[in-house]
Structure 1
Amino acid sequence: MKKTGILNRRLAGELAGLGHGDGVLVCDVGMPVPDGPRVVDLAFRAGVPSFADVLDGLLAELVVEGATGAAEVREANPGAARLLAALPALELVPHERLKELSAGARLVVRTGEARPYANVLLRCGVFF
């Protein structure tokens, strides 16, 4: 049994299978989940687990070379905007464009976040 890091066996397994350039959509409960990508749904109740907690856990285990979020987050959800601002090579696009781009993700991790625009498409990098 793992004693640190992501303990959810399904999520840990999906993360282990990611490679350079793969996309991981971390999203709130309101984001439409596209057909195609594998989905790990962590949502339990509104707000649980939070976008911040899930993103923090993922960033501790993934190499991220870039990220895309919705431009609307700046005004609608300043807390999420601050989290996204710390990501490498962040690009903000209209929310509709983010939804289009999410269809190409390899993995979707759905949180319980119930505040608007708490969504980000992470692009995996390499550790060397």
Structure 2
Amino acid sequence: MRKSGILNRHLAGALAELGHGHEVLVCDAGMPIPVGPRVVDLAFRAGVPSFAEVLDGLLDELVIEGATAAHEVRGANPAATALLEAHFPALELVPHEKLKSLSAGARLVVRTGEARPYANVLLRCGVFF
């Protein structure tokens, strides 16, 4: 049994399968999940686990070379905006509808219990060397 890091076996296994250029959608409870990507649904109750908790845990495990979010987050969710901009100075913002279409190309979707709007980000994996 692992003693630290991500303990959810489905999520830990899915992360181990990711490679350079693969995309991971971290999304709130309301984001429509496209058919195709592997899904690890962590949502338990509204707000649990939060977008911030899950994103922080994933960033401890992954090398990220780029991130894309919906530009609507700026007006609707100041906390998510601050979190995303703190982690990703070169955050790409696109219309929410485009983010939904881009998410179909994700290798993995991690659904949180987040109940605040537009708490979604598409992460592009990098390499550690």
TM norm. shorter chain > 0.5:
yes
- In structure 2, distance between residues paired with 1:89 and 1:121: 13
**How far did 1:98 drift?**
0.2
Provide the C-alpha distance between the structure 2 equivalents of 1:87 and 1:19, rounded to a whole number of angstroms: 20
* Separation of aligned partners in 2, 1:88 and 1:53: 19
Give the equivalent residue in structure 2 for 1:126.
Answer: 127
**Consecutive unaligned residues in structure 2, runs of 5 or more:** none
Post-superposition offset of 1:88? 5.1
SS in 1 for 2:69: strand
Which residue in 2 is equivalent to 1:100?
Answer: 101
User: % of aligned pairs identical?
Assistant: 81
* Distance of 1:80 and 1:91 partners within structure 2: 14
- Mapped to 2, the partners of 1:88 and 1:104 lie a distance apart of 23
1:72 aligns with 2:72: yes
TM-score (norm 2): 0.98
Structure 1 residues 94, 51: closer, same or farther in 2, change over 3 A?
same
Q: Deviations over 1:62-103 (max 9, x none)?
A: 000000000000010000001111225310000000000000
SS at match of 2:105: coil
- Contact kept, 8 Å, 1:25 with 1:107, in 2: the verdict is yes
CA RMSD, 1 decimal: 0.7
Counterpart secondary structure, 2:127: coil
Q: Do structure 1's residue 29 and structure 2's residue 16 form an aligned pair?
A: no
Name the one with the larger helix percent: 2
Cα deviation digits, residues 1-57 of structure 1 (max 9, x gap):
100100000000000000000000000000000000000000000000000000000
Q: What is the alpha-carbon distance in structure 1 between the residues aligned to residue 113 and residue 76 of structure 2?
A: 17
TM-score (norm 1): 0.98
Aligned partners of 1:66 and 1:88 also within 8 Å: no
